[in-house]
């Protein structure tokens, strides 16, 4: 029998089209096969650490555009297993799992609920909340002592969600979510386009899926700003100040300028906003759209990314840490669109070629410690959206976050890709 023609991507090929596998051979890649061929070239050693222990209506004013898919439709894909040996060269060597089900152990491995509420939130969501998060809860208590989370619901359509549900005690006694599994707090109010850097804290109506959240570049750091996203429209994250008081105030400013509120509601809105300003000023929170800390962060942004909030990665004195993806955003979107909208598996397999070339370049960048390229490409793929891209994302982003020491984000993206939904009902506590 004649031997198969070898695929030029070898063991790093992620294409699973049956005809491709039938026509081409994919030998396993040796761990350091080019070390012997180039003994004179010194490679930088990259050590991927194991992830840390798991601790996870402003109505029509915001527009009426609906998502491309029906509510409740899911894009899901089980991510690949990964080698954590030193060197990034083999990070595409292993094939994605066939089974889309979550492992039984994962369902049983739930974070504890310590008495200290701050530690409780950190264990469930893997990040700490800033002071303004708790101060805003106190402000809402002054408006609705029994249910602070609903202080803005009746008149403005805003509800406090996400980590605020822990303060509200909504997690107590909840053993199963609507899917029959134990609640996964890493997915609690995580909208379709929310990257790991974005943590939802306020939601609006279900039609527009407008929501506010904290954005932080590193899970070990406090948020750099509060942003807004309208999932029904796009992946864009728009900065709205460096604290929740500013974000709510600026959002209500926009509402006051609209024609969607009658005189009675506008009067209530103005009264609420005045009280919010007084409380924020007493706590010395800025109500500006852009603060000095946000401007300082802008100087560190290495690229815009599709979601518009930008990306920050550490750079050394020689600017090692990031190299740009060698394609213009418009061309990347064309590549992604071609794959997502392919009419057949064979057509999709062919369209994958261009993205595979970029993934190979990311591999070389990782070998040279420019981890930012893989993060940028992975985030852009995620922000574009589409289940056919999930396999590539699951190869790129978890590894990028581990190489950057952002292990919590690796856990979040892996959980999100397993159960990524375009639904507006994203509570894990119902």
Residues with catalytic roles:
368
Please, which residues bridge with residue 96 across strands?
Answer: 80
Task: Quote the CA–CA distance of 73 and 356 in Å, as a whole number.
Answer: 27
Q: Enter the tokens of residue 154.
A: 């009746």
Q: How many residues does the chain have?
A: 430
Task: Quote the CA–CA distance of 152 and 426 in Å, as a whole number.
Answer: 19
Q: Yes or no: say if 211 and 229 are a contact pair by the CB < 8 Å rule.
A: yes
Task: Quote the CA–CA distance of 228 and 222 in Å, as a whole number.
Answer: 17
Q: Yes or no: say if 420 and 74 are a contact pair by the CB < 8 Å rule.
A: yes
Residue 368: exposure state from Cβ atoms within 10 A (0-12, 13-18, ≥19): middle
What residue spans of 283-328 are helical by DSSP H?
292-300
The residue with tokens 């005809």 is 19
Q: What is the DSSP string of 173-226?
A: T----TTSS---GGGTT--TT--TTEEEEEE--TTTTEEEEEE-SSTTS--SEE
């Amino acid at each position: 029998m004649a031997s198969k023609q070898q695929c030029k991507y070898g063991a790093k090929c992620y294409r699973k089209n049956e005809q491709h596998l039938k026509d081409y051979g994919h030998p396993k890649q040796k761990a350091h096969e080019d070390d012997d061929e180039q003994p004179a070239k010194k490679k930088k050693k990259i050590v991927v650490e194991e992830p840390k222990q798991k601790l996870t209506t402003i109505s029509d004013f915001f527009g009426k555009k609906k998502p491309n898919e029906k509510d409740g439709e899911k894009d899901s894909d089980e991510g690949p297993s990964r080698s954590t040996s030193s060197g990034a060269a083999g990070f595409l060597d292993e094939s994605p799992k066939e089974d889309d089900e979550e492992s039984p152990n994962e369902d049983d491995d739930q974070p504890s609920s310590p008495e200290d509420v701050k530690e409780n939130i950190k264990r469930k969501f893997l990040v700490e909340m800033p002071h303004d998060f708790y101060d805003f809860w106190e402000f809402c208590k002054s408006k609705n002592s029994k249910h602070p989370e609903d202080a803005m619901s009746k008149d403005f359509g805003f509800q406090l969600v996400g980590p605020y549900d822990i303060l509200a005690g909504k997690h107590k006694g909840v053993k199963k979510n609507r899917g029959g599994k134990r609640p996964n707090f890493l997915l609690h109010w995580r909208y379709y386009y929310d990257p790991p850097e974005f943590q939802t804290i306020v939601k609006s109506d279900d039609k527009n899926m407008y929501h506010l959240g904290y954005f932080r570049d590193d899970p070990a750091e406090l948020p750099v700003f509060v942003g807004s996203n309208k999932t029904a429209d796009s992946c864009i994250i728009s900065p709205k100040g460096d604290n929740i008081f500013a974000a709510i105030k600026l959002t209500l400013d926009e509402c006051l300028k609209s024609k969607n509120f009658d005189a009675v509601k506008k009067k209530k809105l103005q009264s609420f906003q005045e009280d919010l300003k007084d409380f924020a000023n007493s706590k010395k929170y800025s109500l500006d759209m852009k603060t000095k800390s946000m401007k300082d962060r802008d100087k560190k942004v290495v690229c815009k990314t599709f979601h518009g909030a930008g990306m920050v990665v550490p750079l050394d004195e020689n600017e090692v840490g990031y190299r740009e993806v060698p394609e213009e955003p418009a061309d990347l979107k064309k590549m992604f669109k071609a794959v997502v909208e392919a009419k057949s598996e064979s057509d999709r397999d062919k369209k994958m070629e261009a993205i595979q070339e970029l993934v190979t370049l990311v591999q070389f960048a990782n070998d040279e410690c420019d981890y930012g390229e893989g993060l940028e490409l992975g985030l852009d793929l995620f922000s574009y959206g589409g289940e056919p891209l999930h396999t590539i994302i699951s190869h790129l982003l978890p590894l990028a976050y581990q190489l950057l020491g952002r292990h919590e984000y690796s856990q979040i993206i892996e959980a999100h890709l397993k159960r990524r939904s375009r639904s507006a009902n994203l509570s894990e506590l119902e």
